[in-house]
Structure 1
């Protein structure tokens, strides 16, 4: 199922003075992964048309070709209302700073034009550049090796943004389906209960507790209609092997048992 986009504005990515051609290509590919198209380059130091850029961007090279170029950061973000800068270096105590993991889902659902800044591979963003942004965000990492490659940093942040503004990943992957009718669930559990009693798994003094636990497991699995049909098939085959009639209204009971002697 295709994810439903829940905000009116996707972020643009602003690369400040990028030097590595593989990084530029990697950023373009990453943007395509997350359905982003607005790439902006400030004083780029690499050849946008190089083979390395094309190799790393794969089918997303058009994002590099169509990237907007600027001489100054102020020009690159002139049409934006809000910008976030990724940096481990503090611009100063007065500048707003947050850890990425502190930013909740509502934070990412922005209804205004906004952008994410990534600094130079060798020196990051200057204090002046950081102070041109609304918020400085750091990505928690090892204190012994804290610096992330800009492609890796962008991947972490965009994944966070994508998760917050789209349906849950489990919903994105799950095909259209529907929950089974409650009467079908009741029939399944009646049959399961009958079979478990007949094979001696359920004892009179603990059956209620066990059946409640099985119901809880069932609900946590978020069973769909097709899933329940599979479970019905398994249960029916087990009952047939044991020669039990488990889907009747009674407690079931042929004479033969599957339980071990």
Structure 2
């Protein structure tokens, strides 16, 4: 039974759990069960291998039907995180140093503080066999990794979700008075705003021959996105940046006050975030 609306509102407090290309329905079900144990219910799937819905997932969820029934499926990771303001990527492998790396305890405290400030948050979990790609990690704000025995650093996806869900619940039992997030007067940007900035900058750079040689273009884009997503922008900050980048197409270097070469009819340089 999915529960009443008031019960679901109580359960909704917490980060969205996002599984990228999960393979087995049983694993999805165990993830749902782990989430339900610690008060999380919003599960999103990106291209599940065996499709959705899944009776194997429901069976493995052990009556966490409210999580299974509310699960949403997306074609792309960008779409799955578009409405979120802050996202963690879980990874066991060492990555380039663009992203801050946090422990589960610090990550849960950060998520709790951002939730208290009205932000929408999420945690990305990768494929059972090889996790998240560098491109997927680049879409997150920070990385969370688990302190496991280096001689046997093997967590399955349900275990990883269980650990983060537990730390989330535990963070709500502690006194966060000194670390509670103070909401900004400006609205935090969603990932959809940030992805729009990525696409605008990459299009402009591509037109100017920045991505050379061609074989290095994917890695150059990955590094660029990692740098641009290093801090949490507000909607207004994204708008300002897009307005700045838009002027690159409108004015030539030798004639900065010359005629406008408009891209989208926006005359004031304010951006279109």
Which TM-score applies when normalising by structure 1? 0.57
Partner in structure 1 of residue 140 of structure 2: 133
Residues 163, 58 of structure 1: CA spacing in aligned structure 2 closer, same or farther, 3 A cutoff?
A: same
User: Aligned-pair RMSD on alpha carbons?
Assistant: 2.4
| Cα distance in 2, alignment partners of residues 86 and 125 from structure 1 | 8
Residues 167, 99 of structure 1: CA spacing in aligned structure 2 closer, same or farther, 3 A cutoff?
A: closer
Contact 2:14–2:112 under 8 Å retained in 1: no
Residues 49, 79 of structure 1: CA spacing in aligned structure 2 closer, same or farther, 3 A cutoff?
A: closer
Is 1:143 the counterpart of 2:150? The answer is yes
SS at 2:152 equivalent: coil
Partner in structure 2 of residue 116 of structure 1: 123
Contact 1:53–1:61 under 8 Å retained in 2: no
SS at 2:165 equivalent: helix
Alignment of 1:1-261 (within 5 A): 10-103=14-107, 105=109, 108-110=112-114, 111=117, 112-166=119-173
* Gapped regions of structure 1 (runs ≥ 5): 169-261
Which TM-score applies when normalising by structure 2? 0.55
- Return the index of the structure with the highest Cα Rg: 1
SS at 1:59 equivalent: coil
Contact 1:106–1:164 under 8 Å retained in 2: no
Aligned length: 163
Contact 2:20–2:127 under 8 Å retained in 1: yes
Q: Deviations over 1:192-246 (max 9, x none)?
A: xxxxxxxxxxxxxxxxxxxxxxxxxxxxxxxxxxxxxxxxxxxxxxxxxxxxxxx
Residues 107, 80 of structure 1: CA spacing in aligned structure 2 closer, same or farther, 3 A cutoff?
A: closer
Contact 2:128–2:156 under 8 Å retained in 1: yes
| Cα distance in 1, alignment partners of residues 135 and 143 from structure 2 | 12
Contact 1:9–1:113 under 8 Å retained in 2: no
* Gapped regions of structure 2 (runs ≥ 5): 1-8, 176-273
Residues 10, 101 of structure 1: CA spacing in aligned structure 2 closer, same or farther, 3 A cutoff?
A: closer
